[in-house]
Homo-oligomer: A and B are copies of this chain.
């Protein structure tokens, strides 16, 4: 039994080193499974197990007929989002978030289920334990997405996914340029406040906590521009 898990771990590691060495870019498609089998000297079954592990970690995503891709799964059709990304100034993104997210926090406090709260806790926990700014960003994203899910309103969820995708692309562009520090203790406390208000079913407090958080994010993001 130990033999088997050890072997699986080695296969997983060989896949990870492949991604690192080949310097696969974000959203880039990696070779089809059948080619990767030969390249890594694995059977397709073994390879698929390793890929499944990476997928569960959110490192890659797969789609029948399209391929396997590096990075988080895009939630929406890329065409429109690319269009929006090009046309939007970063200030527009934060303005849109400040318009939408406090209202969604309200609805999350009103309609959220226990499962939604569990997911929020998970995101907060993994946000805190992130050793890398990239992983932190990912779980921060998931936290806000979890709040959207808690509204139990499919239309709002879909709208927020679009907003979030645009946000992610612009933020990532910023991060690559400015190399922000990966850990941000202020955001941790603010996330806690938002979560507490939602679980308490206190809609107004949830909206206010979200507003405070977004203001804080905005000031931190754009303060360097004026200093």
Instruction: Give the size range of A's interface with the partner.
Output: 20 to 34
A96 CB contacts on chain B under 8 angstroms: 153, 155-156, 159
Q: Is the CB of A99 within 8 A of B104?
A: yes
| Smallest CB gap from A95: residue in B | B153
Q: How far is the CA of A100 from the CA of B159 in the complex (A)?
A: 10
Can you list, as one digit per residue, whether each of A48-88 has a CB less than 8 Å from chain B (1) or not (0)?
00000000000000000000000000001101100010011
Q: How far is the CA of A84 from the CA of B104 in the complex (A)?
A: 18
Q: Is the CB of B155 within 8 A of A84?
A: yes
Q: Is A103 an interface residue (CB 8 A)?
A: yes
Q: How far is the CA of A162 from the CA of B44 in the complex (A)?
A: 42
Instruction: Count the copies.
Output: 2
Can you list, as one digit per residue, whether each of A99-123 has a CB less than 8 Å from chain B (1) or not (0)?
1100110110000000000000000
Q: Is A154 an interface residue (CB 8 A)?
A: yes
Q: How far is the CA of A99 from the CA of B106 in the complex (A)?
A: 9
A37 CB contacts on chain B under 8 angstroms: none
Q: Is A43 an interface residue (CB 8 A)?
A: no
Q: Is A166 an interface residue (CB 8 A)?
A: yes
A153 CB contacts on chain B under 8 angstroms: 92, 95-96
| Smallest CB gap from A100: residue in B | B100
Q: Is the CB of A107 within 8 A of B95?
A: yes
Closest 5 interchain pairs by CB? A99-B103, A96-B155, A92-B153, A96-B156, A88-B155
29 contacts between A and B (CB under 8 A): A76-B80, A77-B77, A77-B79, A77-B80, A88-B154, A92-B155, A92-B156, A93-B155, A95-B107, A95-B153, A95-B156, A96-B153, A96-B159, A99-B100, A99-B103, A99-B104, A99-B106, A99-B156, A100-B100, A100-B103, A100-B159, A103-B103, A155-B163, A155-B166, A158-B162, A159-B159, A159-B162, A159-B163, A162-B162
